[in-house]
Structure 1
C-alpha cells in the first residue's frame, strides 16, 4: 500500500479539498477514485507524479436538483 494525494477542484479550478488515501497501486487508486460523484476536476498524485486527471463531468449528466 502506498499513499496517494487526491485533489478535488471546483468549477473555476480552485482547490476545494485535498486528501491522502492509501492504495495497492495506480489501478486500484484509479478504479476507486473514478467512482467519485465529484462533478469537477480531480487530480491524483503519487510521490510527486501525476497519476491521473479526471475531467469535469459534462453538465448534462449531472442529476437535476
Structure 2
C-alpha cells in the first residue's frame, strides 16, 4: 500500500519537483531537547524513585 506512494514521492524528490515531493518527513528536527545537554543528570532521581517503589512492593508482599 505504501510502496507506490513513497516511490512516487522519492521520484519527485529526485527530479527536483517542489510541492509534489513533500512528505511528513520533510521538516527540521528540533534543535535540542529542553533541559538536556547530553549529561543524564536526571538518572539518579529516576533510580531512587524505582528503589522506593521496589521497597514499597517488597514491604507489601512480606506483610
Structure with bigger RCO (C-alpha 8 Å, 6+ apart): 1
Question: Greater Rg, structure 1 or structure 2?
Answer: 2
Q: TM-score normalised to the size of structure 1? A: 0.21
Q: TM-score normalised to the size of structure 2? A: 0.21
More helix by share: 2
